[in-house]
Structure 1
Amino acid sequence: MKKLFYLVLVVVFAYSCSGNSSSSDTTSTLSTNESSVADDTAADVQTEYDALVGEGKFSEDNFEFSHDSEMTEKGNAIYSAKCQSCHKLTDEMLVGPGFKGVSERRTPVWIMNFLTNTDEMIDLDPALQEQLEVCMVRMPDQALTDDDALAIVNFFHENDTKN
């Protein structure tokens, strides 16, 4: 009885793996075509990504940074409320990377786009994807307004100039 059971099991397994089914062939062709289109689209997006500007509504044409001490204070308050639990002001990593030197490594436009368009930036920016592998925690969208983001850019600038 056991031998018959094993024989039936082997025959069913062999038949299901043989690929004789036309629906299986159609599915594999469709999957191959869909993945090819997805790869082409991802490659197009990746080649258009500007690592100095990032992805979002801010560009070098519509944004120019100038330091403002009142905005720095507001940025400090936002940092304390939304950022401090995961980021230090030094280069030490907590949950996410430390903020020391961020305004020297990244342009103000890039930081504005990252703070206001976090998810898309993480999906597109190769450096952020590498950082995600190190931190192992994806930064959540903080729902910052443009004004809040500008305050944080001012705060980063101030942090980097005094350290």
Structure 2
Amino acid sequence: MNKLSLLLVVVFALFLSCGKSKSEPGEDFSAPTTSEESATTDASSYDPNRGEGKHSNVELGASLDQAMAANGEKEANVKCTSCHKMTDERLVGPGWKGVTERRKPEWIMNFITNPDPMIDKDPELQAQLELCLVRMPNQSLSDPEARDILEYMRKNDGVK
């Protein structure tokens, strides 16, 4: 075995040994985690128009806020466009073209700020997950960052 192969085997073994074992004392793996709890909550209380989260009323201006859209574009280029195209073409996740016409602003804000509970409850998102095969990660966006991205989505959909 050459030195590189030996090094790779050692690194791989260290990687495997760094995970927590279910048999470590003091760890209770029988209790569900927060995401598991949300998956088992009653999906009948889920509002498919608003989604799941704290955003129940998002005020949009009749015209586009250019400064917010510019900030949203910068943020999206860092956290979103590696998985989403601005067209209707799917990359890792679905394309963004027309999303503000298909979804209410509250739904978009709730989804991009906290996607896990919505993925666990929304049948359309679950169907999308079957196509994309990758859950949208929580990007830890603040509410102002998410609102800027929503404004950028509106700009992409032709709001002037």
Where 1:132 maps in the other structure, the secondary structure is: helix
Identity level (%): 52
Distance 2:83 2:55 in 1: 25
* Equivalent position of 1:140 in the other structure: 137
State which of 69, 72, 77 in structure 2 corresponds to 1:72.
69
Return the alpha-carbon distance in structure 2 between the equivalents of residues 125 and 152 of structure 1: 22
Q: TM-score, normalised by structure 2?
A: 0.71
Q: Residues of 2 paired with 1:113 and 1:159: CA distance?
A: 19
Distance 2:90 2:158 in 1: 20
1:59 paired to 2:56: yes
Q: Does 1:160 align with 2:148?
A: no
Q: Which one of 34, 47, 51 corresponds to residue 50 of structure 1?
A: 47
Give the match's secondary structure for 1:50: coil
Q: Deviations over 1:31-89 (max 9, x none)?
A: xxxxxxxxxx94x62111111100000103xx322231110000100111111111100
Aligned equivalent of 1:114: 111
Give the helix-richer structure, 1 or 2: 1
Moved over 2 A (4+): none
Q: TM-score, normalized by length of structure 1?
A: 0.70
Q: What amino acid maps onto 2:60 in structure 1?
A: F
The total of aligned residue pairs comes to 120
Unaligned 5+ segments in structure 2 are 1-38
Query: Which residue among 84, 92, 95 is the counterpart of 1:98?
Result: 95
CA distance in 1, matches of 2:120, 2:60: 25
